[in-house]
Amino acid sequence: MSQTFASQPLDEGGRLDAGQAIDQSRQISQRKSDHLSLCASGQVGFRRKSAMLEEVALIHEAMPEGQLDDVSLDTPLLGKTLRAPIVISGMTGGTPEAERINRDLASLAERYGLAFGLGSQRAMLLRPETARTYQVRDVAPSALVLGNLGLVQARGMTTSALTRLMADVGADALCLHLNPAMELVQPGGDRDFRDGYATIERLLRELPLPLVIKETGCGMSRRTVTRLKEVGVRHIDVGGAGGTSWVGVEALRLPDGAAALAEELWDWGVPTAAAVAASADLGLEIIATGGVRSGTDVAVALSLGATAAGFAAPLLRAHSHGGVEEAAHFVDGVLASLRALTFLCGCRSAANLRSCPKVVSPALDGWIRSLRAESAPTA
């Protein structure tokens, strides 16, 4: 993500010449290692802004008239049925450490019937031999696996090349990620974001896989989501503010004196809860990521209109502390609390949480109203 592919000579697969590829591959490999260590450290959360999921109170049902074991968490997403509405969000790839993390967490997705997202596959464009760090089908043969590439990189590729990239990892769908704020604070980062909607329209017509448009920590406004829907998008990941600040990650990687803009934009973005709720009536499958840390957060996200919710940093930290079994312990806790809260709201399924009664704080309600007003037609 640190250099602009579109401004450099590419072949139809979006690849640079050998010398440029080696140089950028080294940069990306180091950046991926830095990202993993910083995200696992817990130093890069939003400082003054939360995901606002805590601004919603679900209403207790003292007479649930059922039994806990009858609660269903089954959730259709992108053509498959998950055993719970949870996505292990894309984090990494391209390094030996990333390979171990991807395989461990993909095996968890298989064990629990969850979705699994790969980190950005840009490293594969530069060095195809890194494909093995993204290949998880042998440990997750039936899981919903989401490929991942930046919209700017996809813009410079033919659809057939992008299709091959997804086939190389056995992806069921492609997440096209948006990260303009992160790019703007990276030295040499992308500055040209033209033709994004045209690229999405092309891929919706030509790519033989579902497409998810995904933000990476700054959220989406209703205006953006409405326009995405108009060009044919049916699946989004709001990637809201309040979890890991990728601008903050870059701020900590920059030398002293070079991080002023990144420091200023550290808390930039639309909170996750607001991004979900403001677009919930548009008829899309919405994945809520960004500051989701517990089963309670998942339940709240579903009540606001999300189809599923995703975890990244909490699972990465659990894995860094105790490997795959510590990550499994975290998932067990999330599922137990989500099932309990679904039951205590008087719902028979997690999907029913969308219509359960809730109290929304004035602060979150203000965000939702403002986001909906910005996209309303003018007289």
Give DSSP secondary structure letters for 31-49.
HHHHHHHHHHHT--B-SS-
What pLDDT, on the 0 to 100 scale, is given for residue 171? Answer: 98
Quick one: average pLDDT of 339-356? Answer: 98
CA distance 185 to 284: 31
pLDDT of residue 255: 86
- Determine the pLDDT at residue 6: 37
Pairing, β 56-58 against β 115-117: unpaired
pLDDT at 9: 43
pLDDT bucket at 43, cuts 50 / 70 / 90 = confident
Cβ atoms within 10 Å, residue 29? 18
Q: What percentage of the chain has pLDDT greater than the value 70?
A: 88
Q: Say what the pLDDT of residue 24 is.
A: 60
Nearest one of 106, 120, 134, 111 to 31, comparing CA atoms: 120
Q: How many CA atoms lie within 13 A of 369 on its CB side?
A: 7
- 162, with CB counted inside 10 A (0-12, 13-18, 19+), is buried
Whole-number Å distance between alpha carbons of 40 and 34 = 10
Mean pLDDT of 264-279: 97
Residue 338 pLDDT greater than 80, yes or no:
yes
Q: How many residues does the chain have?
A: 379
Confidence (pLDDT) at 188: 85
Name the pLDDT band for 5 (thresholds 50, 70, 90). very low
Give the number of C-alpha atoms closer than 13 A to the C-alpha of residue 261, restricted to the C-beta side: 10
Dihedral angle of Cα 348, 350, 353, 354, to the nearest 10 degrees: -120
Least confident among 58-67, 191-200, 213-222, 370-379: 370-379
Q: How does residue 2 score in pLDDT terms, banded at 50, 70 and 90?
A: very low
| Arithmetic mean of pLDDT, 37-43 | 66
Confidence band for 23, pLDDT divided at 50, 70 and 90 = low
The predicted model gives 267-274 an average pLDDT of: 97
* pLDDT for residue 12 is more than 90: no
> What residues contact residue 129 under an 8 Å CB cut-off, 6+ apart?
none
Report in angstroms the alpha-carbon separations of 212 from 95, 154, 228, 233.
25, 13, 10, 8
pTM score: 0.91
SS3 content of the chain, % helix, strand, coil (to 5): 50, 15, 35
CA 15 to chain centre: 25
Q: pLDDT band at 168, cuts 50/70/90?
A: very high
- Residue 366 CA, chain-centre distance (Å), reads 25
* Chain center to CA of 338: 20
Q: State residue 257's pLDDT score.
A: 77
Average pLDDT of span 112-129: 94
pLDDT of residue 371: 97
pLDDT above 80 (res 131): yes
Query: What's the pLDDT at 320?
Result: 93
pLDDT of amino acid 290: 97
The reported pLDDT for the residue numbered 187 is: 87
- Number of other CB atoms surrounding residue 276 within 10 Å: 33
Mean pLDDT of 287-306: 98
Domains of the chain (ranges plus CATH)? 54-191+198-374 (3.20.20.70)
Strand residue runs (E) in the chain: 56-58, 75-77, 80-82, 86-88, 115-117, 144-150, 173-178, 211-215, 235-237, 285-288, 308-311, 358-360
Nearest by Cα to 35 from 98, 115, 106 = 98
Mean of the per-residue pLDDT values for the chain? 91
Read off the pLDDT of each residue in 201-230 and give the average, rounded to a whole number.
98
Q: Mean pLDDT throughout 242-249?
A: 91
- Contacting residues for 230 by C-beta, under 8 A, at least 6 apart: none
Which residues have a Cβ under 8 Å from the Cβ of 161 and sit 6 or more positions away?
Answer: 12, 13, 14
Report the alpha-carbon distance of residue 101 to residue 338 in Å, rounded: 25
